[in-house]
A and B are shown apart, each in its own frame.
Chain A
């Protein structure tokens, strides 16, 4: 080491920053020499060096590594085992991550589809099950010609009915049907019952045409909705045999 380096003096801050490394022997020989040559200028730092050396003497004899070595024995084996287990579980975890939500969505759609069908249950007319199709509000889907004429009375025939139902505006079609039908209350009730099966049914259209109190109307609605397929057939038979 040359004289210039030995003569170099460190500032108070530089001495503080180098103090721990000096006490614990981590300075290079040159750095140590410079530190020691600057130390006499700072008596408080000299005391600091003595104090730290004294209290850390026991720490310096401790073997902290021993604990760590004991605890990390075979850590590489354990890591490899865990890694291999994760790889095997990976495929299963992947399927659980995507399969479970997919199945849940499928079940949800199936439930919604089933519920939708229950609102429009299949109709059984003349012994044949006919799927109600709310998009096709055509009485021809679930009424025979003879039955339609009986239900709707003499004032209307199937062709008129068909041309009305092929009109896209269902509200207007219902009004038009009612004007074609006789004043027979039973015919209007039956129209209302059939219209329950139609999509976009507008109850207000028929309510306004039926001059009776709400209770009677509600009573008829309730009664009609309770009828099953055999009862409707029986009703049709009665109407056929009726003498007015």
Chain B
């Protein structure tokens, strides 16, 4: 267990994949980035089941190619690119097949697990979280991603810039506009 905790840096994880125990390295790798990958996927596909499936595929793809990782960017930036590509492919396929299917499973997105609140508070919080996620999904992709990566993941602008391919000044402008729009939507909600 202590050895697992020792694998903190990205370089240690990559070395463990190349020279050490692959399964151990995979466990550490997934645990370190699972929230990041899953939340990113969820923003794109807005469905828990699909997000879970895609997140697994993202990690498998990353693990299969990690020996080719060249440390030109951080592991997180590299993972983000894999995640967005997988989400884009999934969305395309889903759009194609949804033409033949009338099922709509968007309601699952609002199935948020219960917490320590009272039942009334829990329902209220559930509904608010669902409404907020929906507002977030209404933003343009760049603004949504900038907001999420800065607000939820607390990433530095320089790293977000590498992920999204936008300048730091542009990201700050995107962030401000996203917050402005969300504030307007939240105000309308009352």
Decide if A86 is an interface residue (CB 8 Å cutoff). yes
Partner of B35, one of A23, A48, A69, A78: A69
Tell me the A49-73 residues at the B interface (CB within 8 Å).
Answer: 51-52, 55-56, 58-59, 62-72
Question: What are the interface flags for B32-44 relative to A under an 8 Å C-beta threshold, 1 for contact and 0 otherwise?
Answer: 0011001100100
Q: How far is the CB of A19 from chain B (nearest CB, A)?
A: 6
Residues of B with C-beta under 8 A to A19:
176, 179
A72 touches B35 (CB 8 A): yes
A75 touches B38 (CB 8 A): yes
User: CA A18 – CA B175 in complex, angstroms?
Assistant: 9
Decide if B30 is an interface residue (CB 8 Å cutoff). yes
Decide if A24 is an interface residue (CB 8 Å cutoff). yes
Residues of A with C-beta under 8 A to B176:
16-17, 19-20
Decide if A209 is an interface residue (CB 8 Å cutoff). no
Partner of A70, one of B113, B173, B183: B113
Decide if A112 is an interface residue (CB 8 Å cutoff). no
Partner of A51, one of B26, B132, B178, B183: B183
Question: What are the interface flags for B43-75 relative to A under an 8 Å C-beta threshold, 1 for contact and 0 otherwise?
Answer: 000001001100110011001000000000000
Tell me the A7-42 residues at the B interface (CB within 8 Å).
Answer: 16-21, 23-24, 26
Q: How far is the CB of B187 from chain A (nearest CB, A)?
A: 5
Partner of A52, one of B112, B113, B183: B183
User: CA A52 – CA B186 in complex, angstroms?
Assistant: 9
B31 touches A68 (CB 8 A): no
Nearest-neighbor residue (CB-CB) of B112 within chain A: A67
Interface size class of A (residues with CB under 8 A): 35 or more
A66 touches B113 (CB 8 A): yes
Majority secondary structure, A binding face: helix
A72 touches B34 (CB 8 A): yes
B26 touches A17 (CB 8 A): no
B56 touches A75 (CB 8 A): yes
Residues of A with C-beta under 8 A to B34:
72, 75-76
Decide if A204 is an interface residue (CB 8 Å cutoff). no
Nearest-neighbor residue (CB-CB) of A52 within chain B: B183
A79 touches B186 (CB 8 A): no
A80 touches B27 (CB 8 A): yes
A24 touches B187 (CB 8 A): no
A55 touches B35 (CB 8 A): no
User: CA A40 – CA B51 in complex, angstroms?
Assistant: 45
Question: What are the interface flags for B160-190 relative to A under an 8 Å C-beta threshold, 1 for contact and 0 otherwise?
Answer: 0000000001001101101110110011000
B128 touches A62 (CB 8 A): yes
B52 touches A76 (CB 8 A): no
Decide if B85 is an interface residue (CB 8 Å cutoff). no
B154 touches A79 (CB 8 A): no
Nearest-neighbor residue (CB-CB) of A26 within chain B: B154
Decide if A243 is an interface residue (CB 8 Å cutoff). no
User: CA A103 – CA B187 in complex, angstroms?
Assistant: 66
Decide if A93 is an interface residue (CB 8 Å cutoff). no
Residues of B with C-beta under 8 A to A51:
183, 187
Q: Which of A18, A48, A67, A69 is the most central at the interface, judged by chain B CB atoms within 10 Å of its CB?
A: A67
User: CA A64 – CA B152 in complex, angstroms?
Assistant: 8
Q: How far is the CB of B167 from chain A (nearest CB, A)?
A: 12
Decide if A83 is an interface residue (CB 8 Å cutoff). yes
Residues of B with C-beta under 8 A to A78:
56
Question: What are the interface flags for B119-163 relative to A under an 8 Å C-beta threshold, 1 for contact and 0 otherwise?
Answer: 000000100110010000000000000000011101000000000
| Beyond known contacts A56-B179, A75-B34, A83-B60: 5 more, CB 8 A cutoff | A18-B172, A55-B186, A64-B39, A67-B129, A68-B42
**18 A/B residue pairs, CB under 8 Å, sorted by A:** A17-B169, A17-B172, A17-B176, A19-B176, A59-B186, A62-B132, A64-B39, A64-B152, A65-B35, A68-B35, A69-B35, A75-B30, A79-B56, A79-B59, A79-B63, A80-B26, A80-B27, A83-B26
- A interface residues, Cβ below 8 angstroms from B: 16-21, 23-24, 26, 48, 51-52, 55-56, 58-59, 62-72, 75-76, 78-80, 82-83, 86
The 6 closest A-B pairs by CB, nearest first: A17-B172, A76-B30, A55-B186, A72-B34, A20-B179, A75-B34
